[in-house]
Structure 1
Amino acid sequence: MLKTYLKFITIVFIITILTSTVGLAEIPLRVVVNGEKVNFPDAQPFIDENGRTQVPVRFVSEALGANVDWNGDTKKVTVTLNSRKVVLTIGLKTYEINNQTYQMDTVALLKESRTFVPIRFVSEALGATVTWDQNARSVYIKFDPTASPPPLPTPLAGTTKYYDGIAFNDVTDVDQYGRMSMDKTKEFVLKLANQLSFIKENGKYYIKCDYPKIPEGYNWSLGIKIFNKDGSYITYSPITRVPDCQIPREGSFKKEATYIKNVNNIRNFSIGISIVNSQMDNTGVLDILYYMDGSEKWVIFVPYISLYREEKYTDSFDFKKMFQW
């Protein structure tokens, strides 16, 4: 009798565990376009940390009849359907509809070698209607290609100001963290690079620089290392304990390089230029290398975000203008 009772208790316990496990199993997300379920052969939809449903862009867009284009260099995905063109950039909350800028409360992502986009924003931008069923964990998208698309929301405006000829919009030219966008950072650091030079006057060697003006809340970061053939080096920067090697971080300056007596002893220059937000890290640094004998030289923008590739400007850069010693 006792054995029968214990056996019964064990069976009940196992059934309870199995029932609880099944109950806790999460129902997979479904996306249904005009009544047809969209199949995702590899990467699956998911809900991101902002509560938005992220889907691989190509499968849903093609189900709607849209064309999708991916630019790996700029990390931009373009979805075109009839009169609407939607452009999203990986990692940015801002996106474009027909060249007008708008803002989401989340971002497009790269995951499992797929480009994921927040489906509601993209579908509604293309003129579709989107419904979310929490119980069924399903997104229902309806699109009528013969109907007139609904009007677009009011685009972001922001305020555009010009800094030494470079336009900067305080809404569209920042990323999701409030930092200056990578593309805009490149414009500013390349402009500074073209206004930095090493000149010789009356037998003396000088570092000359005209810092471009930049938006409020940002600071220039400029570091210059001059390596000698014996392995020693001199560092010029705004932050140094050596007064003769300290340079300003804004405005214009012409600094005598008092430690340079014979340029024939110089092996190479290494220069780093970036823009630092006063509250957070920057988005990348312009790295300049130049050997006096011409054996090696480069100008490369190195992003601090691993998703992006380095961008080279070596072929178009005027090294003779910068290095006149």
Structure 2
Amino acid sequence: MFMAVVAGFFTFMTFAQQTTHAAAAEVRVVLNGKQLQFEQAEPVIQDGRVLVPFRKIFEALGFQVKWNSSLQQVTGTKAGLEIELTMNSSKATVNGKSVSLDVPPQMNQNSTMVPLRFVSENSGNSVSFSTKGSVSTITIGSSSVGAGSGGPGPAEKATPYVVSGQVVDSSGKPVAGAEVFADNQLLYNSNLTAVTDGNGYYSIELPPLATTWNMGGYYNLSSGDKELQIELESVTDKPFAGNTGAIRNFIMRPETSIGELYIYSDISDYFSESDIILTVTPIVAGKEGKPITTRGYNFPGGFGLQELPAGGTYKITAQYAPEGETPQPALVRVRYTKEYKESTVFTFSSFVAGIERAEIEVKR
């Protein structure tokens, strides 16, 4: 009986929403207090989602836009963020992470139209919808979540039936592409999810149910053939009622970092990196540990080794050893430093969350 009432409620809400949208003869989009003017095609509402011409909205939000006609794909890029949408596809990507769309990009009025809320919220903006008479207004504004705070700030205010927040790493840097979910404590297997944008922000709209919600999330860290799923740590780990909404921020604390060692040949002495045999020796408490001697290998992004625990100090030596030839000593240096030596010491430095890297040049 209860499930029937809930199903009926959602049917009514959907019908009411569609009826309201059908009655709206005009759709206005307001960005930071200024109404956007669409010259090529006007915004439309389909299946409860506002669609707008892709180039206008991307450029208004500060993106550089690229259209791939052969793939029927639009890409918007700006600092730390890339959004990619494909015509008639219900999947998009945000910084390489796949995200589901309620309404796919499509042709309308001879223009390529994309979902407004998806693009806006994944670029760190809040979106609100209102209808008055025959006019529907969508208002886009900067998110009120404090950047890099990792916790509620003085400017934050919860919105009924909305949970939002930010994901940062342990140093306070925003984490893009993390998946955050709201777990409905009343109905089984009815989680709602969102993916953080380039500034680490997310926002989830909650249905108007008398229930409480718990928040969680994770981040998939990939490097070559290795993948780690890192659970997000909630700053405020307690349930909340949907009618009050909530601000829930998270911290990503990777327990393990992947160490990537990149090997380059000296530009004035070019040779194939695969002709090099490396000996890498860990240094612990000032003492040398067991050395690792191996040839490097190709992995996504470069050539070298991915098998070293990050965070340590290492000594490295090299030999020039094409297959079938007698190995000859080679010189090494940390990339872009001044002097080549028979051996050098290096440490890894942070590249992105959960991945550390070091770069070594080798010269015959």
Question: TM-score, normalising length from structure 2?
Answer: 0.33
Bigger radius of gyration among the two:
1
Question: TM-score, normalising length from structure 1?
Answer: 0.37
Higher helix share: 1
